[in-house]
Structure 1
Amino acid sequence: MSVSVLSPSRLLGDVSGILQAASLLILLLLLIKAAQLYLHRQWLLKALQQFPCPPSHWLFGHIQEFQQDQELQRIQKWVETFPSACPHWLWGGKVRVQLHDPDYMKVILGRSDPKSHGSYRFLAPWIGYGLLLLNGQTWFQHRRMLTPAFHYDILKPYVGLMADSVRVMLDKWEELLGQDSPLEVFQHVSLMTLDTIMKCAFSHQGSIQVDRPSDPTEEGSTTEGGGAGEDQEEEALGFSGHPPLGQRTTWTRCPTPPCALRRH
């Protein structure tokens, strides 16, 4: 009876051979992936050769041109230089075409091409496959079902309410522009959107934009009184004295707004 024992040198030689084979395999896969990215970039360059754009880095694209505090100025310069459309390279193999001409936008929006799954697929677990994520015949069926709800005759009464909310926002901008200071429009637009939804969907009387100051300095002064900030937040939401979270609130339809609010 003979017993064979592997020597340490032979064992190390086998491990070294496996590592060398794995390294060669990884290197081969990297070379194949690099070749695929190169061919994909060349295909994109050929497909977008009719749309001129500023010089871009082969790897970083146009990221270096867009500074955090100069992005809007750079976009305005691109619109003046390329009035129709301009490719925006995000990185080596990723490009986004920015459309500046309304005629170009009409052509794109009039097509029924399938949606890109690159960004929308992350929304599916939260919102499901509805009108935003569907394609093809299923999308047309859902769209046909929703078309009567968004008919112009139904939305026409709300146009005046939307215009009033926008007019209030523009009036506030005119007052703030006289202060010769930068104007952050995000919070103003958010309040205008909330104001429009409250008027159209909940028949809210008044204007949330007027009840709640959108200037951070004014908003900070209202919270100095302890509970004053909470009262102001309730007025901003349009539910002054609304019930706590554990208390259920139901809306009841009525022929004339505002609808009655019942608490249970």
Structure 2
Amino acid sequence: MIPNVLTIAGTDPSGGAGVQADLKTFSAHGTYGMAVTTALVAQTTTGVSSVLEIPASFVADQLRTLFDDVRVDAVKIGMLSDAEIIRTVAAVLSEYSAREIVLDPVMVAKSGDRLLAADAVRALREELLPHVDLITPNLPEAADLLGEVESTDTAGMALQAERLAALGVKRVLLKGGHLLGASSVDVLHTESGSEYLSHERVVTSNDHGTGCTLSAAAAALRAQGHDWPSAVRAAKEYLTGAMRAAELLDVGRGHGPVHHFHRWWPVDGAPLS
């Protein structure tokens, strides 16, 4: 049976991030994608110009209408723009005993600007995290959640991943892309301890939506039956391939999107690895 995977996130008209990227990623992993929209975002590869927030009551209506009708095998959560929406999503997911939940906490922009007010960060930490099976913050987001300074090495990352897990989330994938080096090292913390996941660092300006894509891939792979560690590893491999192949696309003048269908769109008659 083909799994059904839900994204709860904002939009991206350029197709590289948010709901659009999540749906592409779900499809690329052989799952049926569904979407509940939390915000309409006017953004492209060059940045965000404006955001139209969806009322929390309508977010709840979307979720309840879907859960009343469709089996949901996994959930990926992206942009939740304020405390009321965060509380609403947490309450409805609890009401329907939603499972296999991945949270990509969209909290800090690439510019370093905070995207969530303090009350929203508190709601995320206290009301949503206990329902989450895997959270995938980058270094600035982890620091913001913990109220600490940003980690500068892998040892510090492991400590912060452990402290995030202590907030109630079952598993933490702390992404180390902000650190320097030939390899990009993430820390996966589970009930068994911490594991360092090293991958080649792909040097490219086409990195729009990488966080969305990684977390969506992990949710889809989990819905396909992978255990969490193997889902995370396979998601990282998929993202690396998507970034390598991104130069084949010609989308926008800024940070372009990754190539979500790099394994299926042939080049010179041969599929990409």
TM-score (norm 2): 0.23
* Higher helix content, 1 or 2: 1
TM-score (norm 1): 0.24
Q: Which has the larger radius of gyration?
A: 1
